[in-house]
Structure 1
Amino acid sequence: MVEKKYRSIIKTISWRLTGTIDTIIISFLITGNFSMAFSIGSIEVITKMILYYLHERAWSKINIGRKVLKEDYQI
């Protein structure tokens, strides 16, 4: 089984949206300032999407915990 790059991109975006909402909420609870919380969330959304995508692509090349099934060989 091979995962296409666009699958990693979709997973990256969905995970990052979840993480960014979490970061904004935590930042707001700590600072009490929605503007500051949104600023923190805005910065980390870009950097963490790039890091997650690279992480996901690296793991797609590692076979730890994968098992090849017979049906994967059928054409």
Structure 2
Amino acid sequence: METRRRSLVKAVIWNIMGLCTMSLVGFLATGSAAVGGKLAVVNTGIGLTMYVLYERVWSAIRWGRHV
């Protein structure tokens, strides 16, 4: 099982990458850096929260682990 801190660091790094990607996609889709950036920030906030919860749930599940 991994620590909460490790799960959080992984989630933050993953979401920084996602923020950059979504900013670019938002900009390309709307032609506006401001709108694309807002979409990316909202997406990142939701994604970070869901990822941390997802990782914590799976860290508590023993199925499929070899000890």
Give TM-score, length-normalised by structure 2. 0.89
Distance 2:37 2:63 in 1: 37
Unaligned runs of 5+ in 1: 69-75
Structure 1 ranges of 4+ moved more than 4 A = none
- Displacement of 1:64: 3.7
The residue number in structure 1 matching 2:23 is 24
Alignment of 1:1-75 (within 5 A): 2-68=1-67
TM-score (norm 1): 0.80
Greater radius of gyration (CA)? 1
- What SS does structure 1 have at the residue aligned with 2:35? helix
What is the alpha-carbon distance in structure 1 between the residues aligned to residue 20 and residue 31 of structure 2? 15
2: distance between equivalents of 1:24 and 1:41? 5
Aligned length: 67
* 5+ long unaligned stretches in structure 2: none
CA distance in 2, matches of 1:65, 1:27: 38
